[in-house]
Structure 1
Amino acid sequence: MCGYGERVAARITELILDAHDPELLARFWCEVLGYVELQRDGEDIEIGPPGVGFGGPQPTIVFNRTDEPKAGKLRLHIDVNATDRDQPEELERLLAAGARVADIGQTGTEPWHVLADPEGNEFCLLKRRVPEV
């Protein structure tokens, strides 16, 4: 059980996502999140919030080049919320950016949309609008 009032020992600073095409995923997720490219290490690309970068309040994302095929549903996925529009308008924006609707067995009555990025990595668009960080 998580304790309240205890000293924080760690926080998430980076998310690492294996990618066949780091360029493609970096462009997609930069458009989705308003991130920018922070650095490259070989074929790997790290993106994060503009003007903040690594260590800021939001984690950066590293797209790690791999030839391994994606096998099945991800055990960890990203959830996003719109900051400046309602969910239906954000869904349109994400689909136009290259996301596609994904079926992982949802009923269709959920208040979120399950989507996939251009390489098939699932993520959810939640209903609530949140303030920009």
Structure 2
Amino acid sequence: MACRIGELVLGCRDPELLARFWCEVLDFVVLDRGDGYVEVGPREGWGGSQPTLFFSRRDEPEPGKTRLHIDVNATDRDQAAELERLLALGARPADIGQSGAESWHVLADPEGNVFCLLKDRIKPI
């Protein structure tokens, strides 16, 4: 038997801000919130076909560079249209040393966490 990812946990300064952003990006909903955290995920809830995102308040960033980042693919539009949508939601271009010839876009969420918008579309769940 294998494991699967149930949730991805991200320490951040403003869990509510990131929850709103990622709910819009992924068409997720708030599943739970409490003092210092917000968990978002697919409408079917935790344990479904996709992992949830758990934003946990941290006043100080943890030392070192975050090693995990999220890659997203558009489901109902091309990459250029999805890039426009993400930028309108508050994402911003990020430079991590890419050459400019990549087929993906490197972006940062409202707190500066890097994620990538990949070229290929995938089927919605």
TM-score (norm 1): 0.90
Q: 1:126 to 1:105 in 2, by over 3 A?
A: same
Q: Give % identity.
A: 67
Q: Say how many residue pairs are matched.
A: 125
1:28 aligns with 2:21: yes
State the match for 1:63 in structure 2: 55
Instruction: Report how far residue 43 of structure 1 moved.
Output: 1.8
Match of 2:49, SS state, is coil
What is the correspondence of 1:1-133 to structure 2 with a 5 Å cutoff?
A: 8-50=1-43, 52-69=44-61, 73-133=65-125
**Rounded Cα–Cα distance in structure 1 between residues aligned with 2:62 and 2:72:** 21
Q: 1:102 to 1:70 in 2, by over 3 A?
A: farther
> Which stretch shows the higher mean deviation, 115-124 or 72-81?
72-81
Instruction: Report how far residue 114 of structure 1 moved.
Output: 0.3
**Rounded Cα–Cα distance in structure 2 between residues aligned with 1:29 and 1:74:** 18
State the match for 1:5 in structure 2: none
* Letter of the structure 2 residue corresponding to residue 125 of structure 1: L
> Quick check: 2:13–2:59 contact (8 Å CA) kept in 1?
yes
> Quick check: 1:73–1:122 contact (8 Å CA) kept in 2?
no
Instruction: Report how far residue 74 of structure 1 moved.
Output: 2.2
Q: Which runs of 4+ in 1 moved over 3 A?
A: 70-73
Instruction: Report how far residue 73 of structure 1 moved.
Output: 4.0
Match of 1:120, SS state, is coil
* Letter of the structure 1 residue corresponding to residue 41 of structure 2: G
Q: Which protein has the larger Cα radius of gyration, Structure 1 or Structure 2? A: 1
Aligned CA-pair RMSD: 1.1
**Rounded Cα–Cα distance in structure 2 between residues aligned with 1:109 and 1:63:** 32
TM-score (norm 2): 0.96
